[in-house]
Amino acid sequence: MRPATVEFLRQRFGSYYASAQLSAPGALPQREWGFLFFSSRDDPRMRRHVGFGTRDELADYLRTMAPAHAFFSTAYYDDPAAPTMGAKGWAGADLIFDLDADHIVDPRSTTYPVMLARVKEETHKLIDLLTGELGFAGRDLQVVFSGGRGYHIHVKALSVRQFSSAERRELINYVGGIGLDPALLVRPAADPESGWRGRQRRALAEYLVWLSSLGESGALAHLEALPSIGKGRARQVWAQRERLGTGADPASDKRILPLLLSPENEAWRTRLREAGVRADEPVTTDIKRLIRAPGSLHGGSGLRVTILEPGELEAFDPLVDAVVFGDREIPVEVQRACTVSLLGSDLRLAAGPTSVPEAAAVYLCGRGMAEIGGGSS
Q: What is the pLDDT of residues 48-106, one digit of tens each?
A: 999 999 999 999 999 999 999 999 999 999 999 999 999 999 999 999 999 999 888 88
Structure confidence at residue 205 (pLDDT) = 92
Q: What is the mean pLDDT of residues 291-319?
A: 96
- Which amino acid does the sequence have at 128? D
Q: Out of 98, 140, 253, 286, pick the active-site residue.
A: 98
Catalytic residue from among 94, 253, 280, 286: 280
Does pLDDT of 350 surpass 90?
yes
Q: What is the pLDDT confidence band of residue 43, given thresholds at 50, 70 and 90?
A: low
Q: Residue 98 carries which DSSP code?
A: E
Does the annotation count 100 as an active-site position?
A: yes
CB 244 within 8 A of CB 257: yes
285-302: pLDDT as tens digits: 999 999 999 999 999 999
How many helices (H) does the chain have, and how many strands (E)?
13, 15
**123, amino acid identity:** T
At 376 the pLDDT is: 38
Dihedral angle sign, alpha carbons of residues 199, 201, 202, 206: positive
Residues 6+ apart with CB under 8 A from 340: 346, 347, 349, 356, 360, 363, 364
pLDDT cut 90: percent of the chain above it:
74
Please answer whether residues 228 and 237 qualify as being in contact, where contact means their C-beta atoms are separated by less than 8 angstroms.
Answer: no
Residue 42 binned pLDDT confidence (cut-offs 50, 70, 90): low
Q: Is residue 327 flagged as an active site residue?
A: no
Higher pLDDT, 188 or 242: 242
Domain boundaries, the chain: 3-176+280-321, 182-275, 329-372
Taking the CB of residue 270, how many other CB atoms lie within 10 A of it?
13
Q: What's residue 192's pLDDT? A: 72
Position 50, amino acid = V
Answer whether residue 44 shows pLDDT above 60. yes
pLDDT bracket for residue 107 (50, 70, 90) = confident
Reported as a single tens digit per residue, the pLDDT across 324-341 is 999 999 999 999 999 999
pLDDT at res. 249: 86
Q: Mean pLDDT score of the chain, rounded to an integer?
A: 92
Distances 377 to 10, 77, 332 between C-alpha atoms, Å: 17, 43, 13
Return d(Cα 263, Cα 270) in angstroms, integer. Answer: 10
8 Å CB contact between 294 and 143: no
Q: How confident is the model at residue 40 (pLDDT cuts 50, 70, 90)?
A: low
For residue 375, pLDDT over 50 is answered with no
pTM: 0.89
Q: Which of 136-145, 186-195, 362-371 has the lowest mean pLDDT?
A: 186-195
Tell me which residue of 17, 331, 308 sits closest to 150, measured CA to CA. Answer: 308
The pLDDT value recorded for residue 188 is 67
Cα 144 → chain centroid: 10
- Judge: domain 3-176+280-321, CATH 3.30.565.10: no
Q: Which residues contact 95 (CB under 8 A, 6 or more apart)?
A: 74, 154, 155, 157, 160, 161, 163, 168, 171, 284
Cα–Cα distance for residue pair 36/43, rounded to 1 Å: 10
150 has a pLDDT exceeding 80: yes
In this model, does residue 377 exceed pLDDT 50? Answer: no
Q: How many CA atoms lie within 13 A of 23 on its CB side?
A: 12
Q: Give the residue among 89, 3, 77 at the shortest CA–CA distance from 33.
A: 77
Single-letter residue type at 61: Y
Q: Which of 94, 100, 140, 286 is catalytic?
A: 100
- The more confidently predicted of residues 237 and 41 is 237
What's the residue count for the chain?
Answer: 377
Distances (CA, A) of 194 to 176, 202, 270: 16, 11, 20
Based on the number of CB atoms within 10 Å of its own CB, is 20 exposed (0-12), middle (13-18) or buried (19 or more)?
middle
Identify whether the C-beta of residue 199 lies closer than 8 Å to the C-beta of residue 239: no
> Which residue blocks in the chain are alpha helix, DSSP H?
3-19, 55-65, 85-88, 112-132, 165-176, 195-213, 215-224, 230-240, 250-260, 266-275, 281-285, 318-321, 358-366
Question: Nearest CA to 340 among 330, 349, 353?
Answer: 349
